[in-house]
């Protein structure tokens, strides 16, 4: 076909359908759609002039104006089509590097079904230039799975490929969907299924029709009185809420009641350390199969929902009663580190800090507590969940080796009891934290809270006798009172990085100076409870 041959075009698509949208497609996909457009209207054999004219006519007013600007001073209708396409591609498609594409690929996680997740991974892997594409897809596919049980099941296989992993995922999904249907019905309900002859005939005609008809038949059956005792416990259905709501509309209200009551009861029984055989004899068999994973290892991620509940409660108390604020959170490293803080009479500020860190970063900060804290009943389990450990070097090293944060108050109980509104540090030559930081090569982050001494007070003016008794017995004899709704602001100072040329003694002294300077910067000394109460009503901070 030449430029002089007539071209008959019938009912071409409107330009609005053909227009390029950068947010919806790439430039290469647009060009491919243009070729399909030409092929659909029998215009594939057009010469270059008419091909260019067809493109400019149907590209839309916005792209036409862009093409005119890119081709200036040459008229756009005379510019070679290849050169015009190259300039438009440079304008509309900013080519990212393969490293940025790989970073986007590594952030892909499962947000939808397995098939959609695999399609998203394959689309994100385009132009990533992986040396082994299937291996990269397999690694990211396993990493991005939401179900931890499926994740472990796939990793337990000795031989793995993308096909094997997808087969495992589909098998696991089908099993999880069919299990609630099977568990709902007693053995007597299986009599309603088709007999073997009908079953075989249906399978030959339509393999999926039999399963669908059987499940629909079972779902339509009302529960019989004699079968109620065989119905699974609501505790079992609690782990399949979506299927439970579908299959049990008659007990939806009971489901939500037990959804709220059961976790609270489990929480109370665990931390009060009530024996299971005395409180839960009727439900022990149903609960054991679901709770055996929770016993023993309190540092497991399976306790994160409990930690989140505790954190929300503490954070709500801190914000409502003390107007708690946290400043300098950007100074906290992503890896391991030591948080060195000033210890108030009651470390409520530190508990609010732990809650805020977990809520904002989902990061559990471990803490060292005095030995007298662990003598109370139930504290051992609560401490295990919240990351409170005893002052033992081995446990501290293990925490830092795991890449976690560790909070230490060198003053400890001594500083809580015998410091006053002057906010004086009472460390008593404690340098173990500095040696720990030097051994593990981790930074030290100083931290203090404004008005912590005004919130909680120690009873008694003359404390000389109490100080002697404490040094002798390590038991706090002075009572605590207060709980005043003063303003709490926690300030996190700049980290003191590891320096191989600094000894532990020099590092301890440097940390003490940094923490004392942080206190003087943000705390008016001596402290005043009236001023601390007034700070609840304005946002003015201490001037530097």
Contact (CB, 8 A) for 503 and 496: no
Query: Given this model, what pLDDT does residue 353 score?
Result: 95
Helix (H) / strand (E) element for 279: namely helix 276-279
Contact (CB, 8 A) for 519 and 448: yes
Query: Given this model, what pLDDT does residue 227 score?
Result: 42
Please tell me what DSSP assigns to residue 368. E
Report which of 351, 326, 321 is spatially closest to residue 485, judged by C-alpha positions.
321
Contact (CB, 8 A) for 452 and 344: yes
Instruction: Report the distance separating Cα 446 and Cα 400, nearest Å.
Output: 17
Contact (CB, 8 A) for 501 and 459: no
Instruction: Report the distance separating Cα 258 and Cα 266, nearest Å.
Output: 12
Q: Does domain 98-175 have CATH number 3.30.450?
A: no
Indicate yes or no: pTM above 0.75. Answer: no
Instruction: Report the distance separating Cα 2 and Cα 45, nearest Å.
Output: 9
Residue 181: other Cβ atoms inside 10 A: 17
DSSP string, 328-355: -GGGS-SS-EEEEE---SSTHHHHHHHH
Contact (CB, 8 A) for 377 and 420: no
Report which of 37, 32, 33 is spatially closest to residue 9, judged by C-alpha positions.
37
Instruction: Report the distance separating Cα 358 and Cα 339, nearest Å.
Output: 15
Residues of the chain with CATH 3.40.1130: 308-536
Contact (CB, 8 A) for 358 and 311: yes
Strand order, beta sheet including 325-327: 325-327, 489-492, 444-450, 337-341, 405-408, 365-368, 388-389
Q: Does domain 308-536 have CATH number 3.40.1130?
A: yes
Report which of 346, 318, 356 is spatially closest to residue 480, judged by C-alpha positions.
346
Per residue of the chain (544 residues), give pLDDT as tens.
555 555 544 445 554 456 676 666 777 788 888 888 888 887 777 788 888 888 888 777 888 888 888 888 888 888 888 888 888 877 776 666 777 778 888 888 887 788 888 888 888 888 788 888 888 888 888 888 877 788 788 888 888 888 888 888 888 878 776 655 555 555 555 555 555 444 444 444 444 444 445 445 544 555 444 444 444 433 333 333 443 344 344 344 444 444 455 455 555 544 444 444 444 444 444 444 444 444 456 667 788 888 899 999 999 999 999 999 999 999 999 889 999 999 998 999 999 999 999 999 888 899 998 877 877 777 777 888 888 888 888 889 999 998 899 999 998 888 888 888 889 898 888 888 999 999 999 999 999 999 999 999 887 655 677 788 888 887 777 888 888 999 999 999 999 998 888 899 999 999 999 999 999 999 988 888 899 998 888 765 544 4
What are the tokens at 506?
Answer: 């020099």
Instruction: Report the distance separating Cα 484 and Cα 496, nearest Å.
Output: 33
Phi and psi at 285, nearest 5°, equal -65, -40
Contact (CB, 8 A) for 388 and 346: no
Marked catalytic residue, from 243, 248, 322, 343: 343
Instruction: Report the distance separating Cα 516 and Cα 112, nearest Å.
Output: 52
Please tell me what DSSP assigns to residue 325. E
Cis peptide before 128 (omega within 30 of 0): no
Query: Given this model, what pLDDT does residue 510 score?
Result: 92
SS3 per residue for 286-303: HHHHHHHHHCCCCCCHHH
Query: Given this model, what pLDDT does residue 18 score?
Result: 63
Handedness of CA 345, 349, 350, 351 (dihedral sign): positive
What are the tokens at 82?
Answer: 């290849």
Count each helix (H run) and each strand (E run) in the chain, helices first: 27, 9
Instruction: Report the distance separating Cα 203 and Cα 195, nearest Å.
Output: 12
Please tell me what DSSP assigns to residue 496. B
Query: Given this model, what pLDDT does residue 320 score?
Result: 92
DSSP string, 229-265: GGSPPHHHHTT-HHHHHHH-GGGHHHHHHHHHHHHHH
Give residue for tokens 């471990």: 366
Annotation says 343 is catalytic = yes
Instruction: Give residue 218's Cα distance to chain centre.
Output: 39
Residues of the chain with CATH 1.10.1200: 98-175
Report which of 398, 409, 452 is spatially closest to residue 433, judged by C-alpha positions.
409
Instruction: Report the distance separating Cα 385 and Cα 295, nearest Å.
Output: 11
């Amino acid at each position: 076909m030449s430029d002089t041959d007539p071209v008959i075009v019938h009912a071409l698509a409107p330009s609005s359908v053909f227009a390029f949208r950068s947010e919806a497609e790439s430039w290469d996909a647009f060009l491919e759609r243009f070729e399909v457009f030409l092929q659909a209207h029998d215009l594939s054999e057009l010469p270059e002039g008419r091909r260019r004219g067809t493109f400019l006519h149907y590209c839309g007013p916005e792209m036409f104006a862009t093409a005119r600007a890119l081709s200036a001073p040459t008229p756009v209708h005379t510019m070679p089509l290849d050169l015009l396409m190259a300039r438009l591609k440079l304008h509309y498609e900013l080519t990212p590097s393969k490293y940025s594409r790989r970073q986007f690929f590594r952030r892909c996680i499962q947000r939808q079904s397995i098939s959609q997740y695999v399609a998203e991974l394959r689309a994100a892997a385009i132009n990533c230039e992986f040396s082994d594409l299937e291996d990269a897809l397999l690694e990211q596919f396993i990493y991005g799975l939401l179900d931890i049980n499926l994740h472990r099941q796939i990793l337990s296989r000795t031989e793995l490929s993308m096909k094997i992993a997808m087969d495992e995922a589909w098998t696991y999904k089908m099993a999880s969907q069919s299990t609630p249907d099977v568990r709902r019905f007693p053995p007597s309900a299986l009599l309603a299924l088709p007999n073997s002859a009908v079953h075989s005939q249906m399978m030959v005609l339509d393999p999926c029709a039999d399963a669908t008809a059987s499940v629909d038949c079972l779902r339509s059956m009302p529960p019989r009185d004699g079968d109620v005792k065989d119905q699974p416990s609501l505790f079992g259905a609690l782990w399949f809420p979506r299927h439970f709501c579908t299959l049990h509309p008659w007990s939806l209200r009971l489901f939500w009641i037990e959804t709220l009551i059961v976790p609270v009861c489990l929480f109370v029984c665990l931390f009060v350390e009530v024996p299971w055989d005395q409180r839960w004899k009727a439900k022990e068999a149903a609960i054991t199969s679901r709770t055996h994973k929770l016993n023993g290892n309190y540092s497991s991620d399976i306790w994160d929902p409990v930690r989140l509940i505790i954190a929300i409660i503490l954070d709500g108390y801190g914000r409502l009663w003390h107007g708690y604020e946290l400043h300098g959170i950007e100074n906290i490293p992503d890896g391991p580190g030591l948080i060195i803080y000033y210890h108030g009479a009651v470390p409520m500020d530190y508990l609010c800090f732990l809650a805020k860190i977990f809520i904002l970063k989902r990061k559990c900060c471990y803490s060292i507590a005095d030995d007298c804290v662990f003598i109370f009943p139930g504290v051992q389990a609560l401490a295990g969940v919240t990351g409170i450990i005893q002052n033992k070097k081995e446990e501290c090293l293990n925490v830092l080796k795991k890449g976690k944060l560790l909070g230490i108050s060198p003053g400890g109980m001594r500083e809580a009891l015998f410091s006053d509104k002057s906010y004086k540090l009472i460390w008593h030559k404690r340098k173990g934290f500095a040696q720990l930081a030097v051994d593990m090569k981790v930074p030290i982050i100083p931290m203090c809270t404004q008005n912590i001494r005004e919130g909680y007070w120690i009873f008694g003016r003359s404390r000389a006798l109490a100080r002697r008794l404490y040094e002798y017995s390590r038991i706090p004899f002075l009572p605590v009172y207060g709980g005043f709704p003063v303003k709490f602001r926690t300030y996190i100072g700049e980290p003191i990085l590891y320096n191989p040329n600094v000894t532990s003694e020099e590092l301890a002294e440097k940390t003490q100076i940094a923490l004392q300077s942080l206190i003087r910067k943000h705390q008016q000394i001596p402290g005043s409870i009236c001023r601390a109460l007034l700070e609840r009503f304005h946002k003015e901070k201490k001037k530097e």
